Amino acid sequence: MFSRIRRLLIGDTLRTDQLTAEKFNVFWGLPILSSDAISSVAYAGEEILIVLIPILGLLSYKYMFYAALCIVFLLFLLVFSYRQTIDNYPCGGGSYIVAHDNLGTIPGLVAGASLSIDYILTVAVSVSAGTAAIYSAVPALYAHKVVISVAIIILMTLGNLRGIKDSSRLFGVPTYLFIVSVAVMIITGIIRHFVFGYNPQPLYPIQQKAIGDITLFLFLRAFASGCTALTGVEAVSNGIPNFREPSQKNAKIVLGLLAGVVLFIFGGLSYLATIYHAVPNPENTVIAQIATQVFGTSFMYYAVQVTTAFILIMAANTAYADLPLLLSLLGRDGFVPRQFAKRGKRLSFSNGIILLCIASCLLIIVFSGDTHNLMPLYAVGVFISFTLSQTGMFTKWIREKTPGWKHKAVINGMGALVTFITVIIIGITKFKHGAWIVCVLIPIFVFVMLRIKRHYIKIAEQLKLPLNIRPKNLEPSDDKQHVIILVNSLNKAFLKCLNYSKYISKNIVAFYVSVDSEEAKKLQKKWEEYDVGIPLIVRQSPYREIIDPLIDFINSEEHASKPGETVTVVIPQLVITKWWHNILHNQTSLFIKNMLYKRRNIIVISVPYIIEE
């Protein structure tokens, strides 16, 4: 039943050798690996305005321009830095790997933890923003935004569990459509303004005068808010193995193109927001306002909204590719449960995918599906991982001193310095708005990962089998083996247990837990009649449970097993073929087994007795 539902939802199980990654050329690599980076432009400008407008009013647009300039500068610095990472990590250079290789375990784990948090936030933020694009176009849906977001995430989860890689070129299309429709909007908007002198009324009122002065702190907060535009840049250097040969060269080209696209769209949108005075509003995104002003409610307006929604959802999808991969690396190294390193039925890292789904849905529900509430948590993690990755590259050059190392060390060193400063800025300006949550979570995650690793090491040590410990040279039929058969009535299932026990030992007793003395008497009578040949031990159980009386018996003198000795408990197990028949039987035996494992040296033998239909 369950397996049929699973097959319907995610498809047939795939063979391991069916695992083949599609390789991209530059044309497809750009949209697929950069949808996260390009899409974040859809909300970065709005985030800057949210900080500035309430205080500076009309003046905001001027400072928005400066903040955007700083962000673009940061972008180009990152591109140059990451080109060097691509050169050196042909198998993919995520922050965890780079930091772990060059700086050690703890920095690697810090990068891993901050990236994990950010991937979860990416899904929550991108899907919320995609939903915002939908309800900006269809206001009636505003009330259902949480439901819509959760439904999108669940669909995406199912798609990723199926392993949607096969058709991933499909995911490239929305990115190009978004680029094209936004480009058309930017150009049309600028032409209408300058050539035709079009000067629309702002959709929402804006105070003309500034209430307060521009302060350094305010500007830095605006800058920090806009830095969300830079999330997703890492995806390209993560994805090098997915490029066609020459993969590193192709990756670098894509990185350059990505920077160009972000520059054009971010710059263009900021400029349009300035000339058309878009004002952040919870029910209508800035992009939607600009689109209304430029296109009215024509086809192109809806095209912009739809492609925005799509690219944002695609951006969430990159997190679905990256987080499970990161967790599989961490799981392989023993820092998270090893299950994360196992491929599921469809060869995807299904446990990571499911974790991502649950975590992001929870975030959306807790934050009521409002993008702005999640923003302060966002970006801190990305920039921490940028910093660690760049610092890792920097120390690599210093240590290895390969040809041209000085030049390269300067670039990565600058990258590290600037991203570090950005971390500080983001951390301070957004601290009380939510960034503190991330600052608390990262050390906790690192601590837990170290504990998990320690646990795995401890277990491996305990299980290690040195050559000098040899198997016992036992002859079968050692009578010192204690065998106890759990009996609940004298039937064929019990007989099967008894026959099997005789293989193991001659020292066999049957054990019966009595909750009703009438029943116990009946069994004892039958026992004598049948002349079973082994003793029947009957124990009263005032609390109607089985484990404690059994353990008491094993530890008692009557049983005469010594503390260290192995005791075998044989349990008859009725096997029923129809699933609904299981409802009709007490599954006590399953439960007993799990409880007995907790006691040392009790070996449990389950003897199935199959009921014919």
Q: Which strand (E) or helix (H) includes residue 95? A: helix 95-103
Residue 288's nearest CA partner among 171, 147, 433, 142 is 142
Q: Is the dihedral of CA 260, 152, 119, 325 positive or negative?
A: negative
Q: From the CB of 80, what's the least distance to a copy of itself, in Å?
A: 38
Q: Which span sits near a copy of itself by CB under 8 A: 34-42, 149-157, 286-294, 490-498?
A: 490-498
* Contact status: 532 vs a copy of itself (CB under 8 A): yes
The amino acid present at 11, given as its one-letter code, is G
The least distance separating a copy of itself from the CB of residue 519, rounded to whole angstroms, comes to 12
Measured from the CB atom, the residue of 67 and 355 that comes closer to a copy of itself is 355
From the list 491, 519, 525, 555, which residue makes contact with a copy of itself (rule: CB under 8 A)?
Answer: 491
Q: Which of residues 332-371 bind a copy of itself (CB under 8 A)?
A: 337-339, 342-343, 345
Give the nearer residue to a copy of itself in terms of CB position, either 425 or 493.
493
Q: Which of 144, 110, 115, 173 is nearest to 356 (CA)?
A: 115
Nearer to a copy of itself, 264 or 456 (CB): 456
What does the block give as tokens for 262? Answer: 């972000």
- From the list 73, 76, 217, 597, which residue makes contact with a copy of itself (rule: CB under 8 A)? 597
Burial 488-509 (b: 16+ CB within 10 A, else e): bebeebbebbbeebeebbebbb
Residue type, 384: I
d(CA 533, CA 506): 11
User: Is residue 510 classed as helix, strand or coil in its secondary structure?
Assistant: strand
Strand partners, 160: none
Among positions 355, 481, 513, 537, the unique one binding a copy of itself when judged by CB under 8 A: 481
Segment lying near a copy of itself (by CB under 8 A), choices 104-112, 129-137, 410-418, 542-550: 542-550
Query: Which two tokens mark 586?
Result: 């007490």
Q: How far is CA 219 from the centre of its chain?
A: 33
Contacts to a copy of itself from residues 502-531, by CB under 8 A: 502-506, 515, 529-530
Instruction: Assess 216 for contact with a copy of itself (CB under 8 A).
Output: no
Minimum distance, C-beta of residue 313 to a copy of itself, in the bound complex (Å): 30
How far apart CA 276 and CA 169 sit, in angstroms, is 36
The three-class DSSP label of residue 285 is coil
Find the distance separating the first CA and the last CA of the chain, reported in whole Å.
Answer: 19
For the segment 1-20, give every residue that binds a copy of itself (CB under 8 A). 13-17
**Shortest Å, Cβ 564 to a copy of itself:** 12
Q: Are 605 and 569 in contact (CB under 8 A)?
A: yes
Q: Which of 166, 283, 400, 478 binds a copy of itself (CB under 8 A)?
A: 478
- Taking CB under 8 A as the criterion, the residue among 106, 358, 459, 560 binding a copy of itself is 459
User: Quick one: tokens of 233?
Assistant: 């840049």
Among positions 120-159, residues that touch a copy of itself (CB under 8 A) are none
- Out of 8, 474, 563, 564, name the contact with a copy of itself by CB under 8 A: 474
Contacts of 549 (CB under 8 A, 6+ apart): 513, 539, 540, 541
Examine residue 544 and tell whether it contacts a copy of itself (CB under 8 A): yes
539 binds a copy of itself (CB under 8 A): no
Q: Which is nearer to a copy of itself, 283 or 478 (CB)?
A: 478
Question: Can you state the angle between helices 169-194 and 286-295, rounded to 10 degrees?
Answer: 60
* Length of the chain (residues): 613
Among 475, 518, 557, 563, binds a copy of itself (CB under 8 A): 475
Taking CB under 8 A as the criterion, the residue among 69, 170, 362, 575 binding a copy of itself is 575
CB 203 within 8 A of CB 329: no
75 and 263 Cβ atoms separated by less than 8 Å: yes
Closer Cβ to a copy of itself, 283 or 516, answer by number: 516
**Contact between 609 and a copy of itself (CB under 8 A)?**
yes
The partner residues of 573 in beta bridges, in order of sequence, read 608
CB nearer to a copy of itself: give 87 or 548.
548
Q: How far is the CB of 555 from a copy of itself (least distance, A)?
A: 16
CB of 107 to a copy of itself, least distance (A): 23
The H-or-E segment that residue 267 falls in is helix 247-276
CB 510 within 8 A of CB 535: yes
Identify which of residues 281 and 524 has a Cβ nearer to a copy of itself in the complex. Answer: 524
Bridge pairing between strands 567-575 and 536-540 = unpaired
Whole-number minimum distance, CB 370 to a copy of itself, in Å? 25
- In angstroms, the CA 290 to CA 192 distance is 12
**Contact flags string 306-325 toward a copy of itself, x per CB under 8 A:** --------------------
| Spatial distance between the Cα atoms of 301 and 27, rounded to a whole number of angstroms | 27
Size of the site for a copy of itself (CB under 8 A): 83
Contact string (CB under 8 A) for a copy of itself, positions 72-111, x = contact: ----------------------------------------
Point out which span in 294-302, 303-311, 426-434, 602-610 binds a copy of itself (CB under 8 A).
602-610
State the Cα angle at 32 between 168 and 369, rounded to 5°: 95
Min dist. Cβ of residue 438 to a copy of itself (A): 23
359, 493, 510, 513: residue in contact with a copy of itself (rule CB under 8 A): 493
Number of helices followed by number of strands (H, E) in the chain: 21, 5
Instruction: Provide the mask over 551-570, with x wherever binding to a copy of itself is found by CB under 8 A and - wherever it is not.
Output: ---------------x----
Stretch that binds a copy of itself, among 135-143, 243-251, 366-374, 486-494 (CB under 8 A): 486-494
Stretch that binds a copy of itself, among 140-148, 274-282, 364-372, 585-593 (CB under 8 A): 585-593
Q: How far is the CB of 327 from a copy of itself (least distance, A)?
A: 13
By CB under 8 A, the residues from 52 to 71 that bind a copy of itself are none
Q: How far apart are CA 330 and CA 108, in angstroms?
A: 10
CB of 10 to a copy of itself, least distance (A): 14
Widest pairwise Cα distance in the chain: 109
Q: Which of residues 167-206 bind a copy of itself (CB under 8 A)?
A: none
* Least spacing, CB of residue 210 vs a copy of itself, in Å: 45
| Token digits of residue 527 | 């026992």
Q: C-alpha angle 229/387/238, rounded to 5°? A: 70
CB-wise, 377 or 504, nearer to a copy of itself?
A: 504
Two structure tokens written together for 583: 């409802």
Point out which span in 60-68, 153-161, 428-436, 583-591 binds a copy of itself (CB under 8 A). Answer: 583-591
Which residue matches tokens 């950069």?
34
